[in-house]
């Protein structure tokens, strides 16, 4: 073989190659369903969200107040079963203004962009954030360091999910 050959294969196809029937395709849609056990810590987290409360756990050794709550401190590696209620407010650590949906399709005309953010929750140790969404705010007004407050779904609609918080709005 010629020593110079370093690249071979990787034959590009166009959409036309497929639509015109030049290339055969086989299609299958994945049909997997899961019911994940939430366990002790996240079960409590979700039940508290249903009551419009945010709860974390505290490590008795390093004193970190952790969110999402966990049954163990991953750094000290000991159980952490002291529950601590946190505020439902926090500070924007970082944010984005996202014009595509989860499946990469673009948001439609008149649709508002998604506003994901990392929010450091008040009462948790410094830097302890969760990913959530911002709302009731013009994208251009969002700033890192901005104080925000959870906007909860009405009690009847809450189901024990992170989406029981609709979004966080500026305080």
| Chain residues in the site for another protein (CB under 8 A) | 1, 3, 5-14, 23, 26-28, 30-42, 45-46, 66-68, 70-72, 74-75, 77, 93-105, 114, 116-118, 127-133, 139, 144, 161-163
Q: Which is nearer to another protein, 106 or 156 (CB)?
A: 106
Does the N-terminal peptide bond of residue 68 adopt cis geometry, omega within 30 degrees of 0?
yes
Tokens (6 digits) for 149: 């407050």
What are the residues whose beta carbons fall under 8 Å from the beta carbon of 69, sequence distance 6 or more?
Answer: 41, 42, 44, 45, 55, 56, 57, 83
Taking the complex as a whole, the smallest distance from the CB of residue 130 to another protein amounts, in Å, to 5
Check: CB of residue 130 under 8 Å from CB of residue 119: yes
Query: Closer to another protein at the Cβ: 133 or 149?
Result: 133
Which residue lies nearer to another protein by CB, 10 or 108?
Answer: 10
**Shortest spacing between CB 18 and another protein, in angstroms:** 8
What is the smallest separation between the CB atom of 134 and another protein, expressed in angstroms?
12
Q: How far is the CB of 171 from another protein (least distance, A)?
A: 20
Which is closer to another protein, CB of 13 or CB of 156?
13
Torsion, CA 124, CA 129, CA 135, CA 139, rounded to 10: 130
How many Å apart are CA 56 and CA 69, to the nearest integer? 4
Q: Smallest distance, Å, CB 118 to another protein?
A: 5
Give whichever of 30 and 156 is closer to another protein, judged by the CB atom: 30
- How far is residue 93's CA from residue 109's CA, in Å, rounded to a whole number? 29
């Amino acid at each position: 073989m010629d020593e110079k050959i370093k690249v071979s294969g990787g034959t590009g196809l166009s959409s036309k190659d497929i639509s015109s029937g030049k290339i055969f395709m086989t299609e299958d849609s994945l049909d997997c369903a899961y019911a994940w056990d939430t366990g002790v810590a996240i079960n409590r987290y979700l039940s508290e969200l249903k009551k419009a409360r945010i709860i974390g756990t505290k490590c008795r050794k390093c004193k970190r107040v952790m969110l999402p709550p966990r049954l163990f401190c991953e750094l000290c590696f000991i159980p952490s079963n002291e529950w601590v209620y946190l505020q439902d407010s926090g500070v924007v650590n970082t944010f984005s203004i996202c014009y595509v949906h989860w499946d990469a399709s673009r948001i439609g005309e008149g649709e508002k962009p998604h506003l994901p953010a990392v929010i450091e929750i008040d009462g948790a140790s410094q830097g302890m954030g969760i990913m959530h969404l911002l709302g009731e705010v013009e994208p251009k007004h969002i700033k890192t360091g901005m104080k925000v407050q959870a906007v909860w779904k009405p009690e009847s609609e809450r189901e024990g999910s992170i989406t029981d918080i609709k979004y966080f709005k500026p305080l």
